[in-house]
Amino acid sequence: MALETKINKLRKDTARQSLVDAMRYAFRIFARQSSIILGSAWAFVGAVVVVLVWVLTGPTFHFSDTWQLVINTATTVVTQRTG
């Protein structure tokens, strides 16, 4: 009985380790692709353009809280969609 329990424990540990390895591999691929896309020159140029438009529209919107929220949202969208 003890041997059977040890074998079952070993099987569970092996399956769990395989899952952990698969998750690490998937995360590594995701992180690499994200850095390639978000670290591109086009993402940076897009963010700079959005910031310039935002700065130029500041006086029109009296530098309000909503105006500040727009820049946070816009730069996030631009950097996540560029690629």
- What's CA 9's distance to the chain center, in Å? 36
pLDDT tens for the chain, residues 1 to 83: 576 776 677 677 777 777 778 888 888 888 888 788 777 788 778 778 878 888 898 888 888 898 888 878 877 876 666 54
Q: Is 64 helix (H, G, I), strand (E, B) or coil?
A: coil
Q: Domain coordinates of the chain in residue numbers?
A: 1-38, 39-83
Look at residue 36 in the predicted model and tell me its pLDDT: 82
Give the list of residues 6+ apart from residue 79 with CB closer than 8 angstroms, or none. 38, 43, 46, 47
CB 39 within 8 A of CB 14: no
CB 53 within 8 A of CB 78: no
**The whole model's pTM is what?**
0.42
**Which 8-state DSSP code applies to residue 38?**
H
